[in-house]
Amino acid sequence: MRPHKFNSEKKIIVICPNPDCQQKLRIPQIRSTLKVDCPKCNTTFYYTYPYGIGKRKSKWYHKKWFAILLLFIFPPVGFVLLWNDLKSKIYARVGLSIAFGLLFIIWLIIILIIIQ
């Protein structure tokens, strides 16, 4: 059997996200989201190289860094982004509200000083 072009592509091993299955699957390493169907349990999931299984996790890290960066450029926008990501962490929300409320006040004072 002659080697097919597809076979020469780099493969990576992913584990089925179904906790009752956890089948190891070989998928091509491509820099985009790949729809994967588990042949064992028929679970359909998305794999994004290099972020991993599922879209939420990769977005969380993406958003977190983006939000932190925005906090220094324009605090209200960064704060809103962080707030949306911390849906279940109420203490983190309260802490962030106080911390970035103060940061926003400081930021406003700096802006007022620059304008004058």
What span, in angstroms and rounded, lies between the C-alpha atoms of 67 and 108?
18
* Closest to Zn ion by CB, 45 or 83: 45
What span, in angstroms and rounded, lies between the C-alpha atoms of 44 and 90?
32
40 binds Zn ion (CB under 5 A): yes
E-strand spans in the chain?
11-15, 24-28, 33-37, 44-48, 52-53
Using the 8-state DSSP alphabet, how is residue 17 labeled?
S
- In the complex, minimum distance from the CB of residue 45 to Zn ion, in angstroms, rounded to a whole number: 9
21 binds Zn ion (CB under 5 A): yes
Residue with tokens 């169907």: 37
Taking CB under 5 A as the binding criterion, the range among 7-15, 30-38, 87-95, 108-116 that sits at the site for Zn ion is: 30-38
Contact map string, positions 81 to 110, toward Zn ion, x by CB under 5 A? ------------------------------
Binding residues for Zn ion, per CB under 5 A? 16, 18, 21, 23, 38, 40-41, 43
